[in-house]
Structure 1
Amino acid sequence: MRILFVASLTHVEQLKQAVANTPPGQTAPLFPSSMKEHFYERALRRRGHELAVFWRERSSRNPRFRAGFTPAKAAQALVQRLPPQLNPQVHQRNRQLLQMVEEFRPDVLWLVAGNRVILPETLASIRQRHNCQLLYVGGESPLVFDYTLDNQAASLWDLALVNDYYHCFQLRELGTRQAISLPTTAMDPDFHFPRPLDDRRRTALACDVAFVGTLLPDHIYGERVRALAALRDFNPGIWSVHDLPPVLRPFLRGEALGEAMLDIVSAAKLTINPHGQTMQYGGNMRLFEAAGVGTLQITDDRPGIYKWFTPGENILTFRDEADLRDKVAYFLAHDDEREEMARRAREHVLAHHRYDQRVEQVETLLAAL
């Protein structure tokens, strides 16, 4: 199949570096390794598919979320209040997408969630003129994040794939004909493995409990903040490309994306992965990545965890802050049990949750349309 991704690029520096580091004679990546599409790209190429990407938006630098008022937020809010149909730049990007579709002739348009640029009428035209399947792939709540153009186009999609099972119901309410939770996240054995760190690197990153991710805004990630705040006397190591709430700033160790994130998780004894309020079923990227790295993970007690893992055997879950503290204290004091559970977690995701397997599922679903 010929697959054209339509996505927004935020981690620009990471992609530039990855392209620059590509050995001669090898195909440069379309996506940075901080995006799950990078691993779909790798798996799809192994299956023989032809790929291209259309960047509907490109940031000039990596975005950084800050709490409170900032001039950038004010400017963004003003731009977003303008209907996209009245924005000349939006129309220009839509014309450019139509031109790329004419040239590439995709069988599938892979629409990455978070669209603020591509108009529903553009997608309808592509679908009708080129007999092209529209595949939406998302990891965020379509109602909480309220990407208006995505929501307006929901009835056009031939298939929607999401992480969180509950998001399927939201998409159905928006008019999507078929929404399925795979989940869309997984692990890549060639990337998500225990990192061979030298002594200097391991010492620099060492901590008992590590967290890598986003902690703002509070209405989306407040549960994460409260979980980490409950572990303050364990001196957790926190890495984030965004600002932190005041209660956690003393524990900030720096920024991390891609391979740097995997180094941090590898160096830790435990990694904590609270999903946040908008994923009540579960299934974020870190869930399978951390297991692949071979570090024991503790996550919030979500229904999906019981579908994809066996709590107490290859993952830890916590019900509340007291339960979290008790389990962290116990497994930090019992190295053999912690390492054995982490080993089982890695074996489990290698057997059941690889991106190659997700791609096979996607192929089957598209063929059945």
Structure 2
Amino acid sequence: MAKILFVASIHHPEALRAMPPGTLFPSSMAQHFWEKALRKRGHTLAAFYRNQPAIGGMGRTKRHSQRLTPGKLIDAAFNRVPPRLNPDLRARNAALIAQAQAFQPQIVWMVGDNTVIYPETLAAVKRETGCKLVYACGTSPIVFSHPIDRAAARLYDLVLASDYYHGVQWLELGAQRMECLPLSACDPDFHHPYDLSDAERREYACEIAFVGTLTPDTLYSRRTRALEALTDFDLGIWSVHDVPDSLKKHVRGRALGEDMLKILSAAKLCFNTHGDFVFYGGNLRLFEVAGAGVAQIAEDLPGTRTWFPDDTIITYADHADLRAKVGAILRDDAGREAMAARAKAHVYQHHTYDVRAARFEELMEELL
């Protein structure tokens, strides 16, 4: 069994504080379910939260907005300070080295979108512990990665990429190896149809549900334009971030964790178009929605076709095709429910976090 140190950002600190003591990640993050699956298999885990200040407690969830806000101005000012001159970041890097020395991991699991940890810090951790460095990423390094992230690429012994094309980009940057292994999956104990009270059904019921991010437009324009094509349907949108003006009348609130599954359980269909930076497929909702027993529609991408048989998901080619297929599936209650049942059975067999963890163990054996 391996000792694995996660280096990650906590996006929803309030959700983590509500979890049982000793839990590393909240259920609103995919890492929570990796944590559960890996612990079940006997691995020893620890986490370093790189986005938390070296002094002081955890912060609060950040809300993305396209508007200019005082918080954005403050962040912009801090971001102008080179990372290696920022005393708080220097302290966090020193803390990571100290934690790694004490924990002695065989694997350091670096979650993507790093803006904090220096390449020389990762080199020191590898040198002093003899660990292998795994970089796990659901986004494109061209679009999302930062200079200190790309500068460390040659240190990555393995990149786990949800999108195959993103993995190729990391190889081009110097990573030693990549595996297209979706970081998202489903946990049948959590991602399942939920029984709803009458009040919950009234609150959440809609024909088409979307739960996710829509801003900034530079990253999610495909998703926004597709939703705009569906505004004459009974459309419900839930997001913890800002929403474009064109869709605000459809916003029903915020949703994380179990609330998201209740929303899906009340809907007839889930909308699941990927972000602008995904051309292979494999976003977080793809497997969660199927586990919740809800029919879903997504754009026609290679990964979607790879992971889902044709009779378990609806795919569309353009907005006219999207509207036609949404209308047809909403009129066919029996066909929609049968598709959702097939999708649920499929992901419970092939796309659980236990299945992902088993494949990761095989990869670890090759690394160690």
Q: TM-score range by the shorter chain?
A: over 0.9
- Number of the residue aligned with 1:102: 101
- Number of the residue aligned with 2:342: 344
**1:113-262 aligned within 5 A:** 113-262=112-261
**1:20-99 aligned within 5 A:** 28-58=22-52, 60-99=59-98
Please state how far the C-alpha of 1:96 moved relative to its aligned partner: 0.7
AA aligned opposite 1:16: R
**1:275-286 aligned within 5 A:** 275-286=274-285
Secondary structure of 1:18's counterpart equals coil
- Number of the residue aligned with 1:359: 357
The whole-number CA distance in structure 2 between the counterparts of 1:245 and 1:97 is 38
Please state how far the C-alpha of 1:7 moved relative to its aligned partner: 0.5
The whole-number CA distance in structure 1 between the counterparts of 2:64 and 2:222 is 18
The whole-number CA distance in structure 1 between the counterparts of 2:244 and 2:195 is 32
Secondary structure of 1:106's counterpart equals coil
**1:261-272 aligned within 5 A:** 261-272=260-271
Q: Deviations over 1:324-343 (max 9, x none)?
A: 11111111111000000000
Q: Deviations over 1:311-362 (max 9, x none)?
A: 3x00001111111111111111110000000000000001100111111111
- Number of the residue aligned with 2:324: 326
* TM-score calculated relative to the size of structure 2: 0.96
Secondary structure of 2:182's counterpart equals coil
The whole-number CA distance in structure 2 between the counterparts of 1:267 and 1:150 is 40
Please state how far the C-alpha of 1:282 moved relative to its aligned partner: 0.5
Q: Is contact 2:272–2:285 with CA below 8 Å preserved after alignment?
A: yes
Q: Is contact 2:264–2:289 with CA below 8 Å preserved after alignment?
A: yes
Secondary structure of 1:238's counterpart equals strand
The whole-number CA distance in structure 1 between the counterparts of 2:43 and 2:60 is 30
Q: Is contact 2:114–2:145 with CA below 8 Å preserved after alignment?
A: no
Question: Structure 2: where are the runs of 5+ without partners?
Answer: 53-57
Amino-acid identity (%): 50
The whole-number CA distance in structure 1 between the counterparts of 2:263 and 2:185 is 19
AA aligned opposite 1:83: P
- Number of the residue aligned with 1:11: 12
Please state how far the C-alpha of 1:4 moved relative to its aligned partner: 0.7
The whole-number CA distance in structure 2 between the counterparts of 1:148 and 1:12 is 26
- Number of the residue aligned with 2:55: none
Q: Aligned-pair RMSD on alpha carbons?
A: 1.0
The whole-number CA distance in structure 1 between the counterparts of 2:170 and 2:287 is 24
- Number of the residue aligned with 1:24: none
Secondary structure of 2:19's counterpart equals helix
AA aligned opposite 2:225: R
Please state how far the C-alpha of 1:214 moved relative to its aligned partner: 0.3
Instruction: Say which is worse superposed, 137-146 or 40-49, in terms of deviation.
Output: 137-146
Would you identify which runs of 4 or more consecutive aligned residues in structure 1 move more than 4 Å? none
The whole-number CA distance in structure 1 between the counterparts of 2:61 and 2:128 is 36
AA aligned opposite 1:360: A
- Number of the residue aligned with 1:22: none
AA aligned opposite 2:334: D
AA aligned opposite 1:193: H
